[in-house]
Every structure is written in C-alpha cells, then in structure tokens.
C-alpha cells in the first residue's frame, strides 16, 4: 500500500462517527439491561472491565453485519446514554421539571430549561426530544447517578458542624478543638 492510499482513510477525533439507528439503540439497551442483572458484570454501581466486549458479542448475535465494535462505538454510546439519563435525573430532582410518561420526555418551560443548561451542559439537546429508554436506564443505573439531592452547601454544613461540636461533652469538645489547632499548625 502506498502513501496516498493510506492517507485517504480518515482518522482522528470525530472522523469515525457512527450514526446509530433506533433499532440498534434498542438492542444495545436490551443487552445492557441483561448484563446489568448479572453480578459478574455489574457491581457497586458500575460495570466491570470487559463489559463492552460482552455487549459487542451480544450485538453481533442480534444484529449480524452491524459492524459495531466495543471501542469506540459501544463504549461511546453507553457513555452517551448514561450521561443523558443522569442529566434527566438531575432535572427531575428540581421543581418545575416533570416527566411525561406518554411522550417519554421532560416537560418544563423553555426559559427554565435554558437556565438549567447553563449550569448543567449535559442536559443540552433534551428539550422537546423523546428519550424512550429512560425507564430501562432507570432499571440499569437506578441510584448510581448522583443528582445533588441531599447535598448540603457550606452555608448549611458549618452551622451543622458547630451544632454537633457544642453537643459534645466539654472534655471531648476541648480535645477536638486542640486537635484542629494542632493539625492547622502542622500544615503551616
């Protein structure tokens, strides 16, 4: 093979784009759900190494000749679904965002969505777009996605710690304060 033939192959970021069909997405989500039930491939909130190869083999059996490979196609598409699912979960945790189960999409005001996307860029592209795999992804990822719910900010954390500190018996409180002073002195 000469130089001109090899350079005609497009390589690099974004050059190997794969446009997924609805049917391919459907089969990927089904296969992902099936391996999520197997403790051999999923535990502690994430999939174990090698799960993309299992998905590749599963998709080859279900979609002969599809040409999907574990890396970059399947890995990228799974990451896309997890990111979009997480973005929807974050939106639904806020007031003003609702899930339309009939149309399988987030319902909210356009301005509220745009304001949300400024702080949460993963949510871009979800306004007015159906996300038919939400229920299955909820079964796969469940509580694995952090939504920020229940997180306290610095404004709440400091008063809570102070309340806890003053609830301690005086001897423990003194010991705690002396340890904090010693730690601070050691850092300097």
Q: What pLDDT sits at residue 13?
A: 67
Q: What pLDDT sits at residue 39?
A: 87
Q: Is residue 132 a contact partner of residue 109, using CB atoms and an 8 Å limit?
A: no
The encoded tokens of residue 166 equal 């003053």
Give all strands (DSSP E) within the chain, no chain letters.
42-43, 46-47, 98-100, 105-107
**One pLDDT digit (tens) per residue for the chain, 188 residues:** 443 333 344 556 666 678 899 999 999 999 999 999 888 888 777 888 999 999 999 999 999 998 899 988 999 999 999 999 999 999 999 999 999 999 999 999 999 999 999 999 999 999 999 999 999 999 998 865 544 455 444 455 455 555 655 665 666 667 667 777 777 777 66
Q: What pLDDT sits at residue 2?
A: 41
Strand-pairing partners, residue 100, are 105
> What's the pTM?
0.68
The encoded tokens of residue 24 equal 């391919």
12 phi and psi, to 5 degrees? 115, 175
Q: What pLDDT sits at residue 44?
A: 75
Q: What pLDDT sits at residue 72?
A: 87
């Amino acid at each position: 093979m000469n130089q001109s033939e090899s350079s005609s192959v497009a390589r690099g970021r974004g050059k190997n784009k794969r446009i997924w069909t609805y049917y391919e997405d459907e089969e990927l989500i089904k296969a992902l759900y099936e391996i999520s039930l197997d403790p051999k491939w999923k535990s502690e909130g994430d999939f174990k190494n090698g799960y993309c190869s299992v998905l590749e083999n599963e998709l080859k059996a279900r979609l002969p000749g599809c040409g999907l490979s574990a890396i970059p196609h399947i890995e990228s598409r799974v990451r896309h679904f997890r990111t979009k699912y997480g973005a929807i979960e974050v939106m639904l945790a806020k007031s003003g965002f609702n899930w339309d189960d009939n149309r399988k999409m987030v319902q909210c005001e356009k301005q509220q969505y745009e304001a949300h996307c400024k702080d949460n860029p993963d949510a871009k592209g979800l306004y007015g777009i159906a996300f038919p795999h939400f229920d299955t992804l909820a079964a796969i990822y469940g509580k694995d996605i952090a939504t920020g719910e229940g997180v306290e900010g610095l404004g709440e954390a400091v008063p809570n710690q102070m309340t806890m500190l003053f609830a301690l018996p005086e001897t423990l409180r003194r010991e705690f304060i002396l340890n904090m002073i010693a730690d601070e002195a050691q850092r300097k």
